[in-house]
Each structure stands twice: as structure tokens, then as C-alpha cells.
Amino acid sequence: MRLTIIGCTGSMSGPASPASCYLVQATGVDPATGARRVYSVALDLGPGSFGALWRHLDPRDLDAVHVSHGHADHIGDIISLQVHRRWGPGRGAAPVLVAGPAGTAERVRQIDGTTEPDGYEDEFSFLTLVDSTVYEVGPMRLTAAAGRHSVESYGVRIEGPDEADPSRTVSMFYTGDTDEAESIVRGARGVDLLLSEVGFTCADAAEGIHMNGVRAGSLAARAGAGRLVATHIQPWTDRAVVEAELRSAWSGPLDFAQSGQVYEVGAGRR
Ligand SMILES: [Zn+2]
Ligand SMILES: [Zn+2]
């Protein structure tokens, strides 16, 4: 299983990266053809991410989108995927599975600027998430974990085959946007790679929205993650401050997400 950072800037697109979007891929057998192929899931589609995603795969080959929540910095570019499939080269492709909180189709309509009855049946197949919803994309098993944010939000645990030894299962967890929560610690338990938001620093006093570096480091330690990849850091935030906060609670392998960086889950950076 492979993770490619497409967009990682917190709360908006930034000078170095689109907003939130992560591509997770694994090879499995397609039951329709009996042949092995690569399955692809996008975790969020924030502003600017669709074009960057296109550099890594043909958008027609996207199998699923996990929408962590309806904030614009995580869902804004879903409309580019919709246009590509309704009017562009993606026309005629099977609907993409879009797993998200209740109301995700309505969020798409709001961004599109349309109203019901457009349900995007030709482009999307919606799955409404609740805590612990399990769904599969090829050889990958995804489990939603309720977050604690200003709107309904879901992190996701993904288990799939190791790239080097497909008989071995590796795992990762993406927090989406969330403050610390037991459901998130549970979802991330023992993963090889924890992709955690650090939307705040200790200078931000608000609770129930984002984690600061101390809380994200503590999440990694409590979950027993193999590696922490810090993401969703706002473009104006001093990374040295975030690093010092993370290091006060986490002594294991630590990276800062960077657009274009590829990880072999369970093995490290490529
Ligand atoms: Zn966000
Ligand atoms: Zn948010």
C-alpha cells in the first residue's frame, strides 16, 4: 500500500501545496476481469488538489473518495472530479464511490451552485459514514472513526497489502480535522503510519476543533504508531514551533507532509 501526499496545507491551498488531499493505492485482483490492477482512493479533495492528483493518475481510474468532512478546504475540488466525469474524458466511467458524512451530496450541490434533484448518479455513488463504518476498495479495508471538530467529521483507518510482501497487511490512519478524541486513538491503534492534522499550535486556545503539536504527538504515542506524518499545518505557521510541540510528546519517526512525497506504508519514504 502506497501513500502519495497530493495536498497538505492546512485550512487553504498555500504557496507550496494544494489543500488537503492524499492518494492511497494498493494492487489487488479485479473481480470483473480476474486481472491484477491498482486500486486508488483519495482522502479529501481540497482546493487545487484535483489538478495535482491528475499528475499521479488518470482521474478516470479513481475508485473512491473519502470525504472526512464538508469544510471547503477538504471538499472544494470534488466539483472538478464531477465536471471531469460529466462533461470531460471521465464521461461514461463508472460512478466513483464517495464516502462522507450525511449531507455530502448537498455539499457538492452547494459548491456546484445547483439544487435538487441533481443527485450526481452518473458521477458519484454516495456512502453515508457513521462511526466505525467499514467499506472496501479492492484489497483495502477502510474503517471510519468519528472525529471531534466544528462539524461532523471522520478519520479513517486503512489496511491493505504491503507493497514488498503482499501476504503481509500494513495499516495507516488519517485523522481528517479533529481535536483529540478516544475514537481517533482507537482508530489509529498500532498503525504503521499516522497522518495527523496539526491545525493549531499551543498559542491557539480553542478546544474541539484541531490538535496542536502536543496533542498530535500525544495521539501518536498513545496509539503506538510506527511513524508520524504531520499535516494540515497552516501556511503562516512556523514549522519549528510545531516540531518542538510534537517532540515534547513524540520521540518516534517524524515527517512533515510535503506535496509529491510518496510513502510505502510500513516501510517509510520512497
Ligand atoms: Zn481543514
Ligand atoms: Zn475542518
Centre of ligand 1 to C-alpha 31, Å, is 36
Residues 151, 82: Cα–Cα separation, whole Å: 23
The residues facing 28 across adjacent strands are 37
Quote the ligand 1 centre to 149 CA distance (angstroms).
10
CA 176 to chain centre: 6
Domains and CATH numbers, the chain: 2-257+262-266 (3.60.15.10)
pLDDT score for 38: 98
pLDDT digits (tens, 9 = 90+) for 56-94: 999 999 999 999 999 999 999 999 999 999 999 999 999
Q: What is the DSSP letter of 116?
A: T
| DSSP, res 163 | S
In the chain, how long is the greatest CA-to-CA distance? 54
Q: Is the separation of the CB atoms in 167 and 160 below 8 Å? A: no
CB 225 within 8 A of CB 187: no
Q: What pLDDT is stored for residue 270 in this prediction?
A: 76
- What are residue 233's DSSP bridge partners? 9
Q: Return the C-alpha torsion angle 59, 64, 65, 66, nearest 10.
A: -160
Confidence of residue 37 (pLDDT cuts 50, 70, 90): very high
pLDDT at 116: 85
pTM for this one? 0.98
Ligand 2 centre distance from Cα of residue 176 (Å): 8
Distance (Å) from CA 11 to ligand 2 centroid: 7
Q: Rounded distance, CA 207 to CA 219, Å?
A: 15
> How do residues 122-154 score in pLDDT, each as one tens digit?
999 999 999 999 999 999 999 999 999 999 999
CA of 142 to the centre of ligand 2 (A): 20
Q: Which ligand is nearest to the CA of 7?
A: 1
pLDDT recorded at residue 171: 98
> Residue 185 Cα, ligand 2 centroid: separation in angstroms?
19
